[in-house]
Amino acid sequence: MAGDLRGLLLLLLRLGWALPWEALPRETQAGDHGLDAAALSWQQPELPSVLPSARWLWDPERKACPPGRKPAVVDEILVLYEEWELEACVDAALVDAQMDRVNLMPFTYQQLHVLKRKLDELYPQGYPETLARRLGGFFLEVTPKDVHKWNVTSLETVTSLLRASAGRRADAQVAALIDRYVAGGGQLDHTALAALRPAYLCALSPQQLGSVPLSVLWAVQPADLDACGPLQMDALYRVARTALGNLSRPEYLWRIRPYLGGAPLEDLRALTGQNLTLDVAAFKKLRVEVVQSLTVSEVQKLLGPNVLGLKAEERNSPVRDWLLLQPQGHLDRLGLGLLGGIPNGYLVLDLLRQGAPTSLGPDLRSWRPPSCSWLGS
């Protein structure tokens, strides 16, 4: 290591570059590298301009902005700045005021992270809407947690950021944006609704879901609705059932699958004999009260060959809760070895319908008296 340093210093001296002794690290000054301080302090008088850069080269902190490097405008020169220079020289107010120019520059991800940190320091409580509306492509740098700090009141802000994020991986940010807008009482117009990706639907209120255009509904995949609550699923099912009603029966059955988590019992029973086959994952997304009301025969029709998947889920809700309500004899007919049903010959009273406390229901259902031969099978 010492030999490498000595060779570097000799090369600098031969090139005529000046390197003042005080600019070197302390261990270099104190060590014995075969060079004396007088030799290292020598410099050519005609090359003094190298001194500032040499000092910056050896400064491990690099916190102060070098002379002449503080920009007055966001332009291509900043792209050449190192990250520490952006941190030291660029004011957050400049980034805020010239956000449109920031989006025009080919900054690296690392440089953009520096600029975002400066904005976060300027607005620790969240970006004002005047800035959020102008973020453009910079919107991809913020996180959903950042967006939840914003006060979004303008539809213009939503549509502007929807356009900026189109075709990019910003589903979580957009969902948070819509959530903030809707939480403040904002209403999405048809243009904004048509620009939505299916992954954003769960950020809408049940009322707004009633206005989602058919083009969005057709693109929905089951995973897009994982974050939706019961009221949202109810609204989506109603909208989808109406919007898809003119399709042929086979296509309708295919398109309605993602929305069955909001289907009432009577609708689901009507579909059991119409070649509608669900997998166990879709079955688990049905409304809890619907699942518990289905008979073994109805579940077998809904799942078709996928009924085999019930065995792997027999200890998980809602399959476990459904099993507890089924006659064990009916479960045995499936040939899957499912356990936990009502033993043959037992009389089960549905006390919940007689006004008994709700908390007693699960206990009574799961209670099993000692086996007695006189109960029969």
pLDDT in tens, 88-120: 999 999 999 999 999 999 999 999 999 999 999
At residue 358 the predicted structure's pLDDT band, cuts being 50, 70 and 90, is very low
How open is the CA angle 185-196-101, to the nearest 5 degrees?
A: 90
Q: Has residue 363 got a pLDDT over 50? A: no
pLDDT at 48: 40
For the CA atoms of 105, 108, 112, 114, the dihedral, rounded to the nearest 10 degrees, stands at -120
Cβ count within 10 A of residue 185: 8
- Give the global pTM: 0.58
Higher pLDDT: 23 or 182? It is: 182
Backbone angles phi, psi at 327, to 5 degrees: -60, 130
Phi, psi of 342 (to 5 degrees): -75, 120
Looking at the predicted structure, is the pLDDT value of residue 6 above 70? Answer: no
**163 CA to centre of own chain:** 19
Could you tell me what percent of the chain has a pLDDT over 90? 48
* Residue 54, pLDDT score: 40
pLDDT band of residue 7 (cuts 50, 70, 90) is low
Mean pLDDT, residues 349-358 = 44
Of the pLDDT bands very low, low, confident and very high (cuts 50, 70, 90), residue 354 is very low
Name the DSSP letter for residue 54: H
Can you tell me the distance from the alpha carbon of 377 to that of 375, in angstroms, rounded to the nearest whole number?
Answer: 7
Rounded average pLDDT over 12-22: 43
Give mean pLDDT, residues 41-69.
54
For 321, other C-beta atoms within 10 Å of its C-beta total 16
Q: Is the pLDDT of residue 27 over 60?
A: no
Higher-confidence residue of 172 and 37: namely 172
Q: Which region, left, alpha or beta, applies to residue 348 given φ > 0 means left and ψ of -120 to 50 means alpha?
A: beta
| Average confidence (pLDDT) over 221-241 | 91
Amino acid at 348: V
Q: Which among 166, 163, 131, 169 has a CA at the least distance from the CA of 147?
A: 131
pLDDT at 17: 45
Question: Which pLDDT score is estimated for 346?
Answer: 62
Three-state DSSP at 65 gives coil
DSSP 169-231: S-HHHHHHHHHHHHHTT----HHHHHT--GGGGGGS-HHHHTT--HHHHHT--GGGGTT--HH
28: alpha, beta or left? (left if phi > 0; alpha if psi -120 to 50): alpha
Residue 212: other Cβ atoms inside 10 A = 24
Six-digit token string for 153: 């009141």
What is the structure's pLDDT at 67?
92
pLDDT exceeds cutoff 90 at 323 = yes
pLDDT class of 62 with cuts at 50, 70, 90: low
The pLDDT assigned to 351 comes to 47
Per-residue pLDDT averaged across 176-183, rounded? 88
The pLDDT tens digits for 109-156 are: 999 999 999 999 999 999 999 999 999 999 999 999 999 999 999 999
Q: What is the mean pLDDT of the chain?
A: 79
Q: What is the pLDDT of residues 278-311, one digit of tens each?
A: 999 999 999 999 999 999 999 999 999 999 999 9
Q: For residue 166, what pLDDT is reported?
A: 80
SS (H, E, C) 75-114: CHHHHHCCHHHHHHHCCHHHHHHCHHHHCCCCCCHHHHHH
- Cβ-based burial of 190 (10 A; exposed 0-12, middle 13-18, buried ≥19): exposed
Residue 303: the pLDDT is 92
Kindly state the average pLDDT of the residues 65-72.
93
Confidence grade of residue 8 (pLDDT, cut at 50, 70, 90): low
Q: Which of 16-25, 295-304, 323-332, 336-345 has the lowest mean pLDDT?
A: 16-25
